[in-house]
Amino acid sequence: MEKTKVIVGLGSCGIAAGAGKTYEKIKALRQAEDLDFELKKTSCIGMCYCEPLVEIIDETGSYLYGEIDEARAVEIIDRHVMHHIPVKEHVVRTDLFDTTDNDFIENQIKITLRNCGYIDPENIEEYEARQGYRAIKKITDQRISRMDVIQAVISSGLRGRGGGGFPTGLKWKFASDSITSEKYIICNADEGDPGAFMDRSTLEGDPHSVLEGMIIGAYAIRATEGVIYCRAEYPLAIKRLTIALDQARQKGYLGKSILGLQGFDFDIHIKEGAGAFVCGEETALIASVEGERGMPRKRPPYPAVSGLWKKPTNINNVETYADIPWIILNGAEAYARYGTEKSKGTKVFALAGKIRRSGLVEVPMGISINDIIFKLGGGIRDGKKFKAVQLGGPSGGCIPEYLSHTPIDYDSVTATGAIMGSGGMVVMDETTCMVDVARFFLDFTRKESCGKCTFCRIGTKRMLEILTRITEGKGEQGDIEQLEDLAYQIKESSLCGLGQTAPNPVLTTIKYFRNEYEAHIRDKKCPVKVCKKLLTYEVIPEKCTGCMVCAKNCPVEAITGEQKQVHFIHQEKCIKCDVCFSKCKFEAIRLS
């Protein structure tokens, strides 16, 4: 009989939630009690909403426990490991009985994330045990031609998962067609969207799948050197990538004459980036790798012809490379079976916002927004109504609830005014102010503009000024039209994707929630009472007990009244700091 396994999820999300302490507690318990079980590490399992996660695998099956702090760790080790009694109230996923969270896993199709949460990412043997490096071995053993590899990727229908959605196989073919002895493969692991952490999680949880995809790409286009461009803010990903690279070299998957194939020489190094949003654009990324300031370059020539050091270069993101070994091993047809006619395969999304179950999900292309939010995400928190979803990262668009039937594919999402992007999905409820949302995202893209294009550099600043005025009650008639005019000029005149998509949150919120803009401008009111400078704080006489808590805490002495008497807020003094509202225990302050 195999030993019981106790596996702790130690991705960045888990560590931030306290998984490191949970792991050390379990380790100490095993030593103190001389317990006979195997303690293992894995990375992000995807269920970020209930970290720290601990999985116990025994002779009866697998049990995934959620929100396991040090105290609960003691409980599950005592009851489950020592006395073989599963602690059902803490189980979030198992095949042995129903749990409320089973839907989160069962509605997914995992290709990119196929190994995340199942292997120790620092152990190459565990990757190999799950068919790791068999795809490149299949190519070298069967002497599959480079063009046949490229054709398989073309036939699979895989499109770049970094945001643009360009057919991956065609991109490889263009680089392959360039005649030169020096070519490069680059993995964009920077992903400018800080909220879209799926690529970081893949690097932390399954780095070898990305390496194998790059090796296959290098074989296909005859590249001899690879670069993984990863933001320095991802230290765990960089650590595990470094370990994976050393292991791959020792096993002969990188270096000279890979797997005994003469002339197949390829190695990879890591370039740490500074986390600039603009370096998600491939020419800006190339400039950064070359030691220059990360700014986009005019195209053509495209990187496939003149990229890194002016040599033919292929760039894909983490998710794209991670899919390649699966496609080669299982066949293009197997991958193309998922998705729609023009958007094949699966896509990873980072669910965040006002949703019950946040985390990473991988779903087949063509699934509806509604199914992702309600079947996988469990719906909206606190019984609120679904209002909109912001799709595609900071420069994505906001899709309203009545379009939640929209299928997730490149063409359908683009038709709404949003973009697929790298897979960020921020869910909003009825308490969200869409004007404030537009202002928030535009503030981010304005700060991240490299400044090369006048329309992006100055235009986004002017738009932000208008949006700020509107949320402060200083909006004027004609502001909406001016925002639209500036937005279209920025989209048409910017050199790279950052500027071309930066106005999307503004344009889509105007398109679908124009009434909120008009209320801010015409009525000087925020319909959902988010924009503080548009709020009026008033005392409700019948609820006020005269406890004086509000008056004592008001920083500008705008509240007067005697003890046990109804108080009064002087509007000319009120700075709308919200202190009185938050401090009142009798709900005697209303917002209007």
Q: Which fold has domain 5-106?
A: Glutaredoxin (3.40.30)
Contacts of 290 (CB under 8 A, 6+ apart): 308, 309
Q: Residue-wise over 256-277: b if at least 16 C-beta within 10 A, else e?
A: eebeeeeebebbbebbebebbb
DSSP string, 513-540: HHHHHHIIIII---TTS--GGG--EEE-
Tell how strand 559-560 and strand 568-569 pair up: antiparallel
* Half-sphere exposure (Cβ direction) of 210: Cα atoms closer than 13 Å: 38
Torsion on CA atoms 37, 41, 47, 48, rounded to nearest 10: 130
At the second CATH level, the architecture of 434-523 is Up-down Bundle (1.20)
The residue among 402, 418, 414 whose CA lies nearest residue 343 is 414
In this structure, which amino acid lies at residue 9? G
CA–CA distance, 337 with 111 (Å, rounded to integer): 13
Over the stretch 152-199, which tens digit does the pLDDT of each residue have?
Answer: 999 999 999 987 789 999 999 999 999 888 999 999 997 655 445 778
Tell how strand 359-364 and strand 568-569 pair up: unpaired
Tell whether domain 124-336 is in CATH 2.10.69.10: no
CA–CA distance, 288 with 279 (Å, rounded to integer): 8
Contacts of 337 (CB under 8 A, 6+ apart): none
In this structure, which amino acid lies at residue 18? G
Tell me the domain boundaries of the chain: 5-106, 124-336, 346-429, 434-523, 535-591
3-state secondary structure 266-279: EEEEEEEECCCHHH
Q: What is the pLDDT, as a whole number, of residue 192?
A: 54
Asked whether the beta carbons of 284 and 275 are under 8 A apart, the reply is no
- Cα–Cα distances (Å) from 217 to 111, 160, 267, 329, in that order, read 18, 13, 12, 14
3-state secondary structure 403-446: HCCCECCHHHHHHCCCCCCCCEEEEEECCCCHHHHHHHHHHHHH
* Among the four given CATH numbers 3.40.50.360, 3.10.20.600, 3.40.50.410, 3.30.1780.10, the one describing domain 346-429: 3.10.20.600
- Cα–Cα distances (Å) from 540 to 348, 587, 588, in that order, read 49, 8, 5
**312: preceding bond cis by omega (within 30 degrees):** no
Query: Digits of tens for pLDDT over the chain (592 positions)?
Result: 689 999 999 999 999 999 999 999 999 999 999 999 999 999 999 999 999 999 999 999 999 999 999 999 999 999 999 999 999 999 999 988 888 788 888 889 999 999 999 999 999 999 999 999 999 999 999 999 999 999 999 999 999 998 778 999 999 999 999 988 899 999 999 765 544 577 899 999 999 999 999 999 999 999 999 999 998 889 999 999 999 999 999 999 999 999 999 999 999 999 998 878 888 889 999 999 999 999 999 999 999 999 999 999 999 999 999 999 999 999 999 999 999 999 999 999 999 999 999 999 999 999 999 999 999 999 999 999 999 999 988 889 999 999 999 999 999 999 999 998 888 899 999 999 999 999 999 999 999 999 999 999 999 999 999 999 999 999 999 999 999 999 999 999 999 988 999 999 999 999 999 999 999 999 999 999 999 889 999 999 999 999 999 999 999 999 999 999 999 999 999 999 999 999 999 999 998 8
Q: What is the largest CA-CA distance in the chain?
A: 91
Q: Which fold has domain 535-591?
A: Alpha-Beta Plaits (3.30.70)
Structure tokens at 3: 């030993």
